[in-house]
Chains A and B, each alone.
Chain A
Amino acid sequence: MKVAVLVKHVPDTETRIQVKPGDKKINEEGVTYIISPFDEFAMEEALLLRERLGDVQITAVALGPQKATEALRTCLALGADDAILVSDPAFEGADAYVTAKALAAALKGGNYDLILAGKQAVDDDAAYVGTAVAEFLDLPVINLVTKLEVNKAAGTAVAARDLDGYSQVIEVKLPAVFTAQKGLNNPRLPALMGIMKAKKKEIRTLNAQALGLAPNELGAEGAKVEVKEMFVPSKARKNKVLTGAPAETAPELVKLLAEEAKVL
């Protein structure tokens, strides 16, 4: 079987994001990058599929600048067999639509049985690319997957999704696209041996020309949305102080934590 995993190189969630006034993108200086955590679930699921099914070829795919090879190299260290970097200066200013179009072009003809992606990237939170890739490739998509079982012989997969208040189990004929939700698995760390082997594995770079994309389909020109403004919001915290006897305020606090803050 062939599995493609879409990963995005995003700023570390612990990074303090800065935007230069007037800029429409974040200031990348001093920013450390990680694989978007939902994509880590997708990658881990591919590895688990291989452990369960045996013969599974894993290809990690990312779109981004040259620096995004770091994310792909991590996937290779984790156990991906090879990787594709979709990279071209012409992608500057691309939105999720362009990204999905380019990724779909890179995946086309690859005969992947499963395409796995995170449900969204933690930088722009568009939650768009996985679904749009499926659309461009005319494949079924199941989003927010928390459980995935593949029946190789039947060429089908059964995926579970946890929705607000209920769960759904969906069977789909492969090939299909799945986007990973938290809870799908616990991503492992790359083993030392994997890290040492990763540098010998191939990362193919595909530019716009190789993908057969016209200039007007790329970057800001091909984008369906335009970023008008970008800024770091001022920290206005909505503090709420409960006054009264602890016996009375405690239940109120629990209620607020559960319903408003949604942390319980």
Chain B
Amino acid sequence: MDFRLTEEQQMIRRTAREFAERELAPVAIELDKTGEFPWDNWHKMAKQGFVGMTLSPEYGGGGAGLLEFTLVLEELSRVCASTAVILEVHNSLHAETIEHFGTPEQKQKWLPDLATGKKLGAFALTEPNAGSDSAAQQSTAVLKGDHYVLNGLKCFITSGSKADLYLVMAMTDKSKGNKGITAFVVEKDRKGVSFGLPEDKMGIRASIQTDLILEDVEVPVENRLGAEGDGFKIAMTALDSGRIGIGAQALGIAQAALDASVAYAKQRVQFGKPIAELQAIQWKLAEMATDIDAARLLLYRAAWLRDQGGRVSKEIAMAKLFCAQVAMRHTVEAVQIHGGNGYMREYKVERYMRDAKITQIYEGTSEVMKLIIASSLLR
């Protein structure tokens, strides 16, 4: 068994870390305050080749695996979790899904622009009444000649109003339940597409989430991804990959919390010595580091397995569940180690704590992860 990353993977990680320190760190705090969409970061990530890095070189992608992408997301999230999730949704939920399920014509049409970052992609599954119960879709798509007419309300759509392309799930046949869901690629500028205002959120504030409103939107049949009724399968496959990305985001946040805590504990003096010399603090740091390493191993294994092909939903669910738990638990600990200072915005740990919470919720809650794990045990 070899736990080392390859030379290439190490270079990717080093590059991502250096990129994050150089480009994301100077703006991360301000972005969190203003909640402005980080277009600059997006263009820089595109130039660096992170956008579309997992797509095939045939379409201008980098041809990297999910493990390599995991390393990049982890390093970016260590500095700016908001920027990371924009990339994660674009690559994993949107572009890769089109590559996986699209026809040659569809791939040729959309992927080159998605690979270079000229176009930004989004994923629209969640609805006000279809969260964890994602099969309870109320959006509809009705076939009329050479096009479908889409109606519905999607919510919490990451990069909503900023993205150019939306992968939208809608019911084509309600009588079939989740087998009646179909996936469509909907361009932002189609008549009848509109957006709500950006949500005012607790964390990941520089990634924008809005409602996506579809009112009699005519979408040509060529924009349907897969066959009618394939939508749920498509969405779940996308989310499997996406969950590794969210795990990486959680892991990066947790690592940032540990790094900040170690640095702070060494320089913060109480009772006449650095608090790092207090066993109470040492135990916290040791537990943080151990949990983070365990989370990392689970995550890399899941990404590696996924790169070998096939569905590994259980391993992915375990990784996502654990990474998110670790991120939440230990960002809270990091604030505790920082004491009163930790509660202040000046010290980044309060942002880590706010950013961590969403990883237990989106792209499948911790409870849904447990459902997936349990169902594979009790099959």
Contacts and interface: CB of A to CB of B under 8 A. Distances in A.
Which of B18, B49, B57 has the most chain A CB within a 10 Å cutoff? B49
Interface stretch (B8-16, B280-288, B350-358): B8-16
Classify the secondary structure of A's interface with B. helix
A139 interface: no
Contact of A190 (B7, B15, B53, B57): B15
A194 B15 CA distance: 11
Contacts of A77: 11
17 contacts: A70-B7, A73-B11, A77-B11, A189-B15, A189-B19, A189-B48, A190-B15, A191-B48, A192-B12, A192-B48, A192-B49, A192-B53, A195-B12, A196-B8, A196-B64, A198-B11, A199-B7
Interface string A176-192: 00000000000001111
B62 interface: yes
Given A189-B22, A192-B12, 19 more contacts: A70-B7, A73-B7, A73-B11, A74-B11, A189-B15, A189-B19, A191-B47, A191-B48, A191-B49, A192-B49, A192-B62, A192-B64, A193-B49, A195-B12, A196-B8, A196-B57, A196-B63, A196-B64, A198-B11
Contacts of B7: 70, 73, 199
Contacts of B8: 195-196, 198-199
Contacts, number: 40
A195 B15 contact: yes
Contacts of A199: 7-8
Interface size class of A (residues with CB under 8 A): 10 to 19
Nearest to B22: A189
Contacts of B50: 192
A192 B115 CA distance: 12
Interface of B: 7-8, 11-12, 15, 18-19, 22, 47-50, 53, 57, 62-64
> Which of A70, A74, A191, A192: most chain B CB closer than 10 A?
A192
Main secondary structure of the interface of B (DSSP, over half): helix
B47 A190 contact: no
A62 to B, nearest CB: 15
Contacts of A73: 7, 11
Interface of A: 70, 73-74, 77, 189-196, 198-199
Contacts of B48: 189, 191-192
A197 to B, nearest CB: 9
Nearest to B45: A192
A190 B7 CA distance: 14
Contacts of B64: 192, 196
Nearest to B60: A193
Contacts of A196: 8, 57, 62-64
Contacts of B15: 189-190, 192, 195
Nearest to B62: A192
A192 B62 CA distance: 7
A16 to B, nearest CB: 14
A182 B49 CA distance: 27
Nearest to A77: B11
A190 B62 contact: no
Contacts of A198: 8, 11
A77 B18 CA distance: 15
A7 to B, nearest CB: 15
Contacts of B19: 189
